[in-house]
Structure 1
Amino acid sequence: MRAYARLREAGPVHRANSPDGASIWLVTRYADVKAGLGGNGHLASPPRRLIPGG
């Protein structure tokens, strides 16, 4: 949990790589996630599970 808290403190959005190597964006604050949805309730691409079995 400390890593997540550090990410949130450093900024609301971070670029990262998923376990399969895909480039992803981590959005760490609820208000920013909500704003990123653009009010239409849809993501730019479908969400996917990053942790197998998670």
Structure 2
Amino acid sequence: MDPVALGFYAVICGLLSLAAPSLGRPFLRLGIGALVGIIAAAVLPMLKSAMGL
């Protein structure tokens, strides 16, 4: 796996896990997690090109 992607998703998941208990019921947390994952996957290519990677 690409080290940049691994680090990026580790940071995103770590931050989401800090907020998870306060986000409500399990299905709401699942939806929020899916939305954050989609956004993170869309943003990563832009960040990589901005960093020249």
TM-score scaled by length of structure 1: 0.25
User: By percentage of residues, which structure has more helix?
Assistant: 2
Q: Which has the higher contact order (CA 8 A, sep 6+)?
A: 2
User: By percentage of residues, which structure has more strand?
Assistant: 1
